[in-house]
Chain A
């Protein structure tokens, strides 16, 4: 302060006067008279933005300093720069403090959830130069095939892959998109699909939760928990990702517009909207219409949602498709489907070649199980503790339970348990959030809250505030190993893509590609003209025969290929990772097989790089040698 500050300040006091005060500012000579540049109130208003920016800055720093060139059995978990974890923790803490502050703008929790989606679902797209997941590459192959064929084909042309032509909705749209964007293939953008498909879920989930509560803490915490517990990985470039969003869209419309009001006006148009979404689901995916029908049936058990129109609409469309376009597949698969009904043990089993093996695979697998188990447990606690909510949001509880009977019905290629978990999550996440928020704003809940706050000891109150944050942090951090812990299997470096591309560049019609398993990029490229044999999926005795005498056994397996076709053996690092981490052959065994093929006169080396090697069976089968 200037020495003469007080004297100068005294001159500011103007004498009382009838004249209005002059608008001209008086010269300020004392800095203490200036309004503070950053008031406490302003700082308080700005901190959610500051925390969010800090979290995103830490994430951006992390992705710039993460090296994915040598992933170990923990996948991305050990490769990530520590600042990623710090960013995720800061984001979670910021979300929790923001969402619980009633004075905050309602937009901040949404901004934090978007930040979570970026950190969860965009990290891999930024880090990896190629798209993840052999399944995503397979779907890229289906899109390519549709574009090449220009029509839907049957089993006589494409064998087992005809199933995709009988549920073509997603692939047909992607084929159009590839051409309209003018890109080479869907691989150009499919790495970003997890982010896109997760964003698609945002609106229907918000609507569903907003049907049962106005409490934004509950709504946004449920959304947060849904996203962190949805590690199953069905957000990749797949029909399931879009069908699941539409499934939630139908449920949102039914929950909001089909309660018993007695007013039928406008119902025909709402039914048309449901029908359009149902048609889109039905032409795209096999399982989702069944899940949707089961959920709508369960909702009809409630008096307040006993409107059969949505259920009849969905079932009619589903049956119409099954009886026409999908009939070839269903008629072939029906005996097996009927056999699996009631065989719960087999249906929940994840099958041979899916046993996590090695420290990393086991640890990340347990992280995923603990994450799912914790959210299910939290959901049960929420149902038990929130009596009023349990009554008011009973439809959500039923939505959570409706997928369970599917475990009795079918194994869905050893994936049913994961799909059931995913379809349960919207309901489970709501009650799990309620477990973390004991003061849900219902009338009865408020009265109980006030009583609890008055009577609780300070230590207990601190625990009540800190405990949920710790739980939310643990669940959010557990998402990373659950979702990205197997990236050593899922990631295919550019060299691997280049090597496999070499096969299809020179393989003529009728060629055969032999590999240990199908975990490599472009595995389904040209599936209309090039055949495949994945020997680890064969009978165990035959696998043992291959291990005992690799080159001779594989050459025998491949000798049926006729000109102009060629027979190749492909070894890649992705196959080794998949086999090792899922309890099949280990790296040494596969290397012995490769060396046997490399040293055999029956085969010649076609290409080799850091990601693997490619051999071709000589045209005479090596017989002359």
Chain B
């Protein structure tokens, strides 16, 4: 029993680490557009987003319920399965962050857990219908819906404000962006923070601490909210750069339209219990705001690279989830989980070390896009003499 509690503790710690990577991977969804249009300074943007993510985590529990009860057969889940899934998800999140690709943390998590589940118990353990209706279909549809709403919004906004002087119009929409970006952050908390809560709840059910069908306890809600807020505050500058500069050169009216679309779609989906990818919604909105403005240029090659990464997310995270389950299961017990964690730590350190060569910081996050996330300016401001 005691060793089981140690394992439970390690699983919770791993889940919170995942939540942290989810936070910094997704800061971009809410704030990339505001940082790109200079509506908010980079530091203020991540701070504001962190606080609102924390608030959002308390607003709704619909998505946590989907993750905890709707995707896999809870009776067959063991702690090692949950753990394997989390490790797979963290690895995929770190890899895509290194390449500056805004991939879905949610799909990484779901893919990881399903891969690990398949390795453990075979395909009958997965609720395929829940997976398709609550995860895959929303994933396919949401970027298009978000893009449509953002394109319509952008068109209307430009049409209505066309007689205004450019500078005063941009000034007004920058103020509006503070509100719309805040809403995206809040929405992100209602959708993404829930996912880790769902997984920890799943672990607690597997451990016998909670009965099947239970909802997330308060300490889980609080710790998940804090972990995602902390991750958000650290700021995933690489992904922020790609979303803010790599797809469309965004003007303030477009930024506000894109953010409003993202916030509306994410909040609506939370309401219906769909665990959609906030990343894919935000990307769809940004592409839409590029399409809705006449003469705006959309870099489809960057968008295409993202789409490939999205297709790979579920299977890759699943494969890594299965692998880490396999390692933990073969070695067995607490030792297997510790070995997995050591391997994960080594990999994370390696990725971080490699990322230093093309470091993106608040200083150079907005530098001119030259085809890749590698910034065209140094990471530090030149020293003043």
Are chains A and B native binding partners rather than an unrelated pairing? Answer: no
Residues of B within 8 A of A (CB): none
